[in-house]
A and B are shown apart, each in its own frame.
Chain A
């Protein structure tokens, strides 16, 4: 029972952080049709920025509670700066090129940003445990959990609700959905598509950064963490269906729970299981579980 609860909570926590990151990835894909490999960099930069400043502020003797402000601020700054620069300097000039080529360009960017992180922050790991220590832990059903980790589930739920509200209850959502369904149609409706693209990319980047910034206090922030997350969130959006928020949510839960199960019960297949699920879903549902509809061709 206790193991079961541990697996469940581990899995959900893991799913939550995957969802936050993947939601950004899937929104960018849905609107811009770009599979953004450097999404992993947003995550890594979010993590490093927040870990760095949480550590700095704590050294300066500022209250630990400030850490939460730092987390949100890091996500927004990373998303705004990196997202804006990358979209304006690189991607904007590529929209007319092959989908695959854009993926390769974002892969190139990802590699560059990985090394820039090393130059900026060095190779030593960062520990920014303060916000987590502040929230303490609770006992539930015989096991002890960090409250901080549990709040992650709440943050993911907030993100999901926010996306749902934005897409379904605002004028912005209508515009986005039009562009998602058919870009040409969006243009003919008078939508300023380039502007929508820029905002979408920044929005997605902020979500990527938030995933990293929020998870930073619970891990050792060290080189290579962007790689793991990009691989996992690819699996999530493929399983869920690229471009679907609902899909990202379901995909996150599936991948998160399966991985937690593997880690606890069958460590040999930990790495294997994510890819196996991805392969199986691709084979039987090539478009993923919840792929949005497409316009007809000829």
Chain B
């Protein structure tokens, strides 16, 4: 079994999906010879040829729209948007078409496409390269929004996303593209979509997060453990549709919940989770739900971005606040 990074696991899953299914196509900007600016498509052109691995002209609206057309024809397009910051021209196609095609044709035409995009801050990137706007996509009915948090999750969730019969926005936390190596078997086994993953068990407080913030959140859980506090860490993984059951089950046990995300506070996906806790889990809660998030500011350029990103310290402090309620 190979020890791979998250970005290598993405590459492995793409290759596996292409090898298994001739209908899988990979395209986007610089995905061919260059292998993607993060190398996630490295080697695919050489292995599968230019008819299945295509460099497109520079046009994200086009990339998304072409994916809709190919998908309606039975192909399985896996389109790359180079950075999430450049996905917005594609929104029209995603919101107005990809997410609705099945519904508006009553299942006659469908949209089994995946749009991959690296997202998130903390890599000292230029402007527009660091935002986290996953909630914008999670808001759209008919879409799936999937975010892996480790190499094995990237492999299993990307395979599941490609095989899924509906459109998936697959957002890759680029800050941890190369943060850890993990043994991942290239066995073609998918992980379940629409399901949270419990990364760590604990009985005192539930920490809910996704993507790169699993790193800070797991570190916070470790710090809390040193103080004798048992933190349960839940990786949401599929933001939409949201698996509230696992979160509710955990909160029934702990009575306390801290939600952590890099995206801005207001209207972030933590707001949806908190609302659902208020609706469906209020009587289990012993303390108000705490949110540790980016501020409601424009993502700062690199000199200030460290102050924007939720830190382990802020997560620990929020957990302690939740625990102050008797």
Q: Is chain B found bound to chain A in the same assembly?
A: no
Task: Identify the A interface with B (CB < 8 A).
Answer: none
